[in-house]
């Protein structure tokens, strides 16, 4: 690290970072780990020295001496390290559940505003969801007890593709219905001409694209491009696929591979959650945001 001054680095932490959230770790824990890593890294650098303490000693009736010493009341051993964990603000832009892994955007200090803007602009996310036919579990994920078993030999790749295409079409129809404008109006027609649009509601999951990329019975992997989704929704989606194909299915893994313009390439692995890597990552993220202004500021309802 070329800069040794901790206050300079602290001032420069004002944007978002892109982190790879490992599976079976909560978002809160990721946030705490990042905050701790940043604070310990800053405290190891050269921090502000103790302020000066002017002490006037001596007998007032004879001679008073004025000395300037470092103020022990400001010493790091007395008051604590300069950068405290409670002082660093950090918030996430999209929430990933316990079992999901993948791209997670965190905003540090002033970056919390950018993270909020990105979240409110509702960018699309891409997921790779893997599932397994033949068993249905209590919560739709592989860690719980199996509730139902069924055969899956009758399922072919073509069946899955047909089902997923039908799902995508029905979601597109719903999407137009929830655009917030009367369907019979001219505005709705103009919006439809531009292509897929963002829903007006922030609670309704909308799927823009769904495709089966791998099928080795009983395991299969689908890629979903969607908006407003949450972990339980994706698990129930897998369950629904199993039900529609006259079998049963449960989810074995969820991975967020893209969050608008941030992909897995930009994501920082757990072993790289140190101050130096976080700063380089922040610079990359700033470049991405500068390049694509619509991340932070929406001009149209159409999907870009």
Partner 1 sequence: MLRRLIKTCTVRTLGPFRPLSSVQKIENKISTVENSSEIIDPRLVSNSDNLNENPPESSVLQPCKEDISYVAPYLRPSFNFAAYVNKSHTLQQLLKLGVRLYKWEKNQEVPPYILQLDFDKDIKSYIIFLTDLGLQTEDLGKLIEKNPFIFKEDLENLQVRINYLKYKKFTDEMILRIVQDNPMWLSFSTQDIDKKLGFFQKSFSLTGNEVRSLTARKPRLITYDIEHIKLNMFVIKEEMGFTPEEMKQIVLQTPKLFMNNQHRILKTFEYIHKEMNIPLETIVKMPQVLTCREFRIKQRHQFLQKLGKLQFDTKKPNYISLITLVSGSDAHFATEVAGSSIHAFNAFLKTM
| Binding residues for partner 1 (CB under 8 A) | 20, 22-24, 53, 55, 57-61, 71-75, 77-80, 84, 86-87, 101, 255, 264, 267, 269, 271
Which one, 23 or 218, has the nearer CB to partner 1?
Answer: 23
Which one, 87 or 148, has the nearer CB to partner 1?
Answer: 87
CB of 92 to partner 1, least distance (A): 19
CB of 69 to partner 1, least distance (A): 8
Identify the DSSP state of 197.
B
CB of 44 to partner 1, least distance (A): 15
Give the relative orientation of helices 231-244 and 157-177 as an angle to the nearest 10 degrees: 130
Residue among 152, 153, 192 at smallest CA distance from 172: 192
CA angle 268, 37, 277 (to 5 degrees): 35
Which one, 144 or 201, has the nearer CB to partner 1?
Answer: 144
Which one, 66 or 77, has the nearer CB to partner 1?
Answer: 77
* Contact status, residue 168 vs residue 209, Cβ threshold 8 Å: yes
Give the relative orientation of helices 27-44 and 275-291 as an angle to the nearest 10 degrees: 110
What is the spatial distance between Cα 39 and Cα 47, in angstroms, rounded to a whole number? 12
What is the spatial distance between Cα 230 and Cα 239, in angstroms, rounded to a whole number? 15
Which one, 57 or 182, has the nearer CB to partner 1?
Answer: 57
CB of 61 to partner 1, least distance (A): 5
Phi/psi of residue 28, each to 5°? -60, -40
CB of 267 to partner 1, least distance (A): 7
């Amino acid at each position: 690290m070329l800069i040794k001054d901790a206050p300079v680095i602290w001032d420069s932490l004002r944007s978002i970072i892109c982190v790879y959230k490992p599976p079976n770790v909560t978002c809160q824990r990721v946030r705490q780990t990042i905050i701790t890593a940043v604070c310990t890294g800053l405290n190891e650098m050269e921090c502000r020295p103790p302020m000066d303490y002017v002490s006037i000693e001596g007998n007032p009736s004879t001679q008073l001496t004025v000395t300037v010493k470092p103020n022990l009341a400001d010493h790091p051993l007395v008051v604590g390290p300069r950068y405290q964990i409670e002082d660093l603000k950090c918030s996430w832009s999209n929430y990933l559940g316990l079992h999901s892994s993948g791209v997670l955007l965190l905003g540090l200090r002033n970056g919390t505003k950018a993270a909020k803007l990105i979240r409110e602009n509702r960018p699309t996310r891409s997921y790779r969801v893997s599932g397994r036919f033949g068993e249905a579990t209590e919560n739709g994920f592989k860690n719980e007890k199996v509730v139902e078993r069924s055969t899956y030999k009758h399922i072919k790749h073509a069946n899955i593709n047909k089902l997923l295409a039908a799902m995508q079409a029905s979601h597109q129809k719903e999407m137009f219905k929830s655009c917030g404008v009367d369907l019979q109006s001219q505005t709705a027609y103009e919006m439809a001409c531009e292509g897929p649009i963002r829903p007006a509601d922030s609670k309704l999951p909308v799927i823009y694209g769904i495709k089966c990329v791998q099928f080795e019975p009983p395991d299969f992997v689908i890629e979903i491009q969607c908006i407003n989704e949450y972990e339980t929704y994706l698990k129930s989606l897998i369950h629904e696929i199993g039900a529609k194909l006259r079998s049963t299915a449960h989810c074995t893994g969820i991975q967020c591979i893209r969050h608008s313009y941030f992909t897995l390439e930009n994501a920082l692995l757990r072993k790289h959650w140190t101050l130096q890597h976080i700063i380089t990552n922040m610079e990359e993220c700033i470049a991405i945001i500068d390049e694509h202004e619509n991340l932070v500021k929406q001009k149209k309802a159409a999907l870009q």
